[in-house]
Amino acid sequence: MVRETLELNSSSKINVRGLNIWYDDHHAIIDADLQIRKNNVTALIGPSGCGKSTFLRALNRMNDFVDICKTKGSVDIDGTDIYRTQYTNVNNLRKSVGMVFQKPNPFPKSIYENIAYGPKLHRMYETKEQLDAIVEDSLKKANLWDEVKDRLHDNAFGLSGGQQQRLCIARSLAVDPQILLLDEPCSALDPISTNAIEELILELKKNYTIVIVTHNMQQAKRISDTTAYFHLGEIIEKGTTKKIFGNPNHRKTKAYVSGDFG
């Protein structure tokens, strides 16, 4: 791979090396290597079924929930391989590496209780005032506080789709993660809500490392710093978003980003 494909150094937050994932006999991820920089947005792009979401879920071991899934290789976060024995308690890992899914999935609880759930689970507060502060701070970080501050005890299902997705982001932020994984977070949203989420992502990368799976090429161009192109389980090309979309090295990458297939 050409050097300009990915210029990364000690500022990398996640270092994936030799990652292979199988679902029974299906080899879903093949010898994947990727460095993900701290306080950057990294976009994972490629056709449906190419392994993007499987790769994303490997970054906080969500694939562990799939009985037929087998993983080999290493995923180092700040130099620690999350697939080694010290991460047998994956709840601590998922506290540090939060995830937001394609479809907004608030709990059937109040807006307040959605945000408070994680801090309660991890015993992150001592007083009600401290919990209130965590809820308010998380909603502010997700640019949702002003819209919901007067109805915190209303059911979260009363929010719009875009608000529900920002609530899910706020819920992830409430447990003080370092990394946010976003799996097609805007695919079910209208253009106005999508714009709000994109603006939020650009704001959040100041304090968090963000990895996003997206089928929206324009979205990847707008918000990501680095892009990795997946095809049939392999990372075909990786580099700065400007390079991948402007002058890719691989013909398959060029065909995909230009809309010739996918």
Provide the residue range defining the domain that includes 220: 3-102+181-257
Is 162 part of any domain? Answer: no
At 98 the pLDDT is 95
Asked, for residue 128, whether it belongs to a domain, the answer is no
Residue 176 in domain: no
Write out the two tokens for 143.
């640019």
215 is a domain residue:
yes
Express each pLDDT in 54-88 by its tens digit. 999 999 999 999 999 999 999 999 999 999 866 56
- CATH code, 233: 3.40.50.300
**Position 27 in a domain:** yes
What is the model's pLDDT at position 10? 52
Q: What is the dihedral of CA 188, 192, 194, 199, to 10 degrees?
A: -160
Q: Quickly count: other Cβ atoms within 10 Å of residue 135's Cβ.
A: 24
For residue 180, pLDDT beyond 60: yes
> Please, are residues 169 and 159 in contact by the beta-carbon 8 Å criterion?
no
Q: What is the CA radius of gyration of the chain?
A: 18
Is residue 168 included in any domain, yes or no? no
Split at pLDDT 50, 70, 90, the class of 1 is: very low
Global pTM exceeds 0.85: yes
Per the domain annotation, does 35 fall within a domain? yes
User: Residue 245 falls within a domain, yes or no?
Assistant: yes
Total domains in the chain come to: 1
Averaged over 160-165, what is the pLDDT? 96
